[in-house]
Structure 1
Amino acid sequence: MTTQGVSATPAHQVYDVVIVGGAIMGSSAAWFLTEAGFQGRILVVEKDPSYAQCSTAHTNSCMRQQFSNALNVQISQFAADFVKNLRARIGDDRVPELTIQNYGYLYLADNEGFAETLRANQKVQLAAGAETRLLSAEDIRAEYPFMQVDDILLGSINTKDEGYWDGGTVFDWWRRSARARGVEYISNEVVAMTRKGARVESVTLASGEVVACGTVVNASGPRAARTAKMAGVELPVEPRKRYTWIFTAETPLPRDLPLTIDPSGVHMRQDGPTTYMVGSRGEPDPAVEPDDFVMDHSLWEEHVWPIVATRIPQFEAIRLVTEWAGHYAYNTLDQNAVLGPHPEVENFIFLNGFSGHGLQQSAAMGRGVAELITHGAYQTLDLTPFSYARIAAGQPMIEQAVI
């Protein structure tokens, strides 16, 4: 049986690596395993081969260097380099040449505490090679005269490798290239795992097959905690809705709109030549079921649009084009990734909890997982700070720049 051109039945009963989830994280790990020269059998199990309901399909596909943690900056820098050299990286002349639309992120601080955070963050970013500039309210008015900033004390913007990029194309080519290199994808679902002591010995599929495995990679996005529970471990990652609206303005802005983070948390950016995108969390922001994509229509009218129109008065007269709800795989401890093996289940590898940073971190994180599996240790960026050890200890990895 096949679904979307992908078989539902594994070709073998034993695999060296089973990756649970085939969207951008799972496909990144699979492709980087082949790039690292891993010689074993790799199986990617994806419950929805159309990818219509995955977080990858609902992303706003942005990239930034403006983090407070230097390692997060380096992770995005690798992503930027990878995207801009995608054809050479994949090694296929059919791969399109990609760029990053560098309109940047514009953080707005309306209080001295956050302004001081932006100043401290800039020092970290400059030291890592970013080109972040601090802007006074007068600077912002000069560069973006359509923006109302009477309440703003300071802004922060970087237009080097920061803005929109085509995450869908990168994902597509990771998947295509991984399959061409021998990675097996199936349309199925992991519903149980058999664990013996410190190892997961096998996974059970929804269709009934039991597949023995050397290593399991949890790349199941908002379902990550459910997958972890199958291995008998806890993971503080839950699905939280993130809402997106696309609109046109009766009077378009005279220049591209950077991804502007209002102090309320609502963010807006240029989407196309004549369209704009707005994103927001819910108010309140509870955990939801991973298959819950229902829009909260009152959120736009009662909360989001008033904020947008106050910040940019030209957006008082707009027309909505489309809207959707997606999910963050939200790490409730510190909104940073969880990466690497569980300390008590040595062959269960986390690739989870990206909390909205997933697409821009997928290249470095997939490479890191591949290095762990192939070499037993990180070979490039040391991603140890993302390990499960901090989860077990209840010690957050601090990142001030979370949207």
Structure 2
Amino acid sequence: MGQDIVIVGGAIMGSSLAWWLTELGHPPARITVVERDPTYAACGTAFSNSCIRQQFGNPLNVAISRFGVEFIRNFQAYMGDDRVPPVHLHAFGYLYLAGDAAQAERLHQAQAVQAAAGAATRLMTPDQIAAEWPFYDLDGVVLGSHGPVDEGYFDGTTLFEWWRRLARDRGVRFVAGEVTGIDTRGGRVQGVRLADGTRLGAGIVVDAAGTRGAQVARMAGLDLPIEPRKRYTWVFEAAHPLDRDLPLTIDPSGIHCRTDGSLYMAGATPDPDPAVDPDDFAGDWSIWEDRVWPALAARIPAFEEIRIRRAWVGHYDFNTLDANAILGPHPGLEGFLVMNGFSGHGLQQSPAMGRGLAEWIVQGRYVSLDLTPFGVDRVLRDEPFPELAVI
């Protein structure tokens, strides 16, 4: 019953898929998760800011987030194990700020999509923003978009740990090793080879390798438009803390910042933003003084006096075609499935994406949400399925 499955990559996506496969009835003993670094110290999951939002411009991404919130709020019930703790969602909301007419029009269009998909987002004038959060300097802001419910921080580490733990308890095998080859015969996958010479036979191989997703695909002679891209995060304390939660504020400059307990967390994309080696986590920290702090202090004057507590560089598995996930079977090799290219949305999308791909494997089709538009076919046709609301 069921084919042997090898999942390449055991971080948030691989662990979600492994658990969902067992939940939907695939024999756990026929599932192997291969992870090159079982400490997970440098995976995208480890460096994630662990937030979820409804404010996407693509209706399918909104639906995915709506399920994500449902899963987070009902995590214990979904997991069905008395040991599992609840996952708290600190719903401070996201606040997108538009600095010109073109940005405002994008907010209008996106909010219409969100409302049609059932999200409770709202457009706000500068006066309305100032009334609710008087600490902003709104010079140059023409419009805002805010999610008052179901947006904010959640403990993604708990999801990750319990998906992995319960999958293992049910009989899924987690193997420490590096995949160095994909075995094929007659146009279909046969399994994988590891650096230590081990061969794992499988009728299905899932590429859930994050920033190494394109490397794994090339082992099978396939190309994916996925690149590791650096993303910077700083956690700081303010000499004059704000008197209320700071929504995850996306400034027109692209800098973003939010409440982080009693501290604050800011993030930025480097400019230029080249592809990097998956092991390159070095930072050009001049970006803070040159661009990030000036933008923060201009938008929130209370942040003129702050002290950095810690900072790090993480990676997105960035889909250069359309900044959207690539999910499902690759038509170039039967049995080779892709679960990659999440472009910074992976943690919040992991409940729905794990469920969806497990449905496709076990039931032969997507059941709960039709995730077909994320398929590899669009990549091969060079037809983007775009998501413009990328942070």
Fold-level similarity (TM above 0.5):
yes
Aligned to 1:178: 167
Aligned to 1:276: 264
CA contact (8 A) 2:64 2:352 kept: yes
Kindly indicate whether residue 186 of structure 2 is the aligned counterpart of residue 194 of structure 1: no
Question: CA offset at residue 219 of structure 1?
Answer: 0.5
User: Which amino acid is 2:193 matched to?
Assistant: T
Question: CA offset at residue 199 of structure 1?
Answer: 0.9
Kindly indicate whether residue 247 of structure 2 is the aligned counterpart of residue 258 of structure 1: yes
Q: How far apart are the structure 2 equivalents of 1:252 and 1:183?
A: 47
CA contact (8 A) 2:52 2:153 kept: yes
Unaligned runs of 5+ in 1: 1-13
- State the Cα deviation string for residues 25-69 of structure 1 (Å, max 9, x = none): 000000000011012600000011111010000000000001111
User: Counterparts in 2 of 1:296-307, with a 5 A limit?
Assistant: 296-307=284-295
Aligned to 2:224: 235
User: Which amino acid is 1:318 matched to?
Assistant: I
Aligned to 1:57: 46
CA contact (8 A) 1:105 1:162 kept: yes
Q: How far apart are the structure 1 equivalents of 2:237 and 2:124?
A: 27
1:381 to 347, 365, 369: 369
Most deviating of 31-40 and 175-184: 31-40
Kindly indicate whether residue 382 of structure 2 is the aligned counterpart of residue 356 of structure 1: no
Kindly indicate whether residue 157 of structure 2 is the aligned counterpart of residue 144 of structure 1: no
Aligned to 2:122: 133
Aligned to 1:208: 197
Kindly indicate whether residue 153 of structure 2 is the aligned counterpart of residue 164 of structure 1: yes
Count of equivalent residues = 389
Q: How far apart are the structure 2 equivalents of 1:15 and 1:125?
A: 39
Q: How far apart are the structure 1 equivalents of 2:375 and 2:186?
A: 20
1:335 to 323, 347, 353: 323
User: Counterparts in 2 of 1:5-24, with a 5 A limit?
Assistant: 16-24=4-12
* SS of match in other structure, 1:395: coil
CA contact (8 A) 1:17 1:42 kept: yes
Q: How far apart are the structure 1 equivalents of 2:347 and 2:254?
A: 20
Question: CA offset at residue 99 of structure 1?
Answer: 2.4
Aligned to 1:30: 18
Question: CA offset at residue 123 of structure 1?
Answer: 1.3
Q: Which runs of 4+ in 1 moved over 3 A?
A: none
Question: CA offset at residue 303 of structure 1?
Answer: 1.1
Aligned to 1:371: 359
Kindly indicate whether residue 231 of structure 2 is the aligned counterpart of residue 222 of structure 1: no
TM-score (norm 1): 0.95
Aligned to 2:283: 295
User: Which amino acid is 1:347 matched to?
Assistant: G
Question: CA offset at residue 215 of structure 1?
Answer: 0.1
Q: How far apart are the structure 1 equivalents of 2:70 and 2:11?
A: 21
User: Which amino acid is 2:124 matched to?
Assistant: L
Aligned to 1:70: 59
* SS of match in other structure, 2:85: coil
Question: CA offset at residue 127 of structure 1?
Answer: 1.5
- State the Cα deviation string for residues 67-121 of structure 1 (Å, max 9, x = none): 1111100101111111111111111111111221111100000111111111111
Question: CA offset at residue 24 of structure 1?
Answer: 0.3
Identity %: 58
Kindly indicate whether residue 284 of structure 2 is the aligned counterpart of residue 309 of structure 1: no
CA contact (8 A) 2:135 2:301 kept: yes
- State the Cα deviation string for residues 335-364 of structure 1 (Å, max 9, x = none): 000000001212000000000000010111
Question: CA offset at residue 15 of structure 1?
Answer: 7.0
Kindly indicate whether residue 389 of structure 2 is the aligned counterpart of residue 401 of structure 1: yes
Unaligned runs of 5+ in 2: none
Kindly indicate whether residue 100 of structure 2 is the aligned counterpart of residue 111 of structure 1: yes
CA contact (8 A) 1:371 1:379 kept: yes
User: Which amino acid is 1:100 matched to?
Assistant: L
- State the Cα deviation string for residues 212-233 of structure 1 (Å, max 9, x = none): 1110000000000000001110
User: Which amino acid is 1:262 matched to?
Assistant: D
Q: How far apart are the structure 2 equivalents of 1:98 and 1:16?
A: 32
CA contact (8 A) 2:234 2:265 kept: yes
Question: CA offset at residue 247 of structure 1?
Answer: 0.2
Question: CA offset at residue 197 of structure 1?
Answer: 3.1
CA contact (8 A) 1:197 1:345 kept: no
Most deviating of 223-232 and 91-100: 91-100
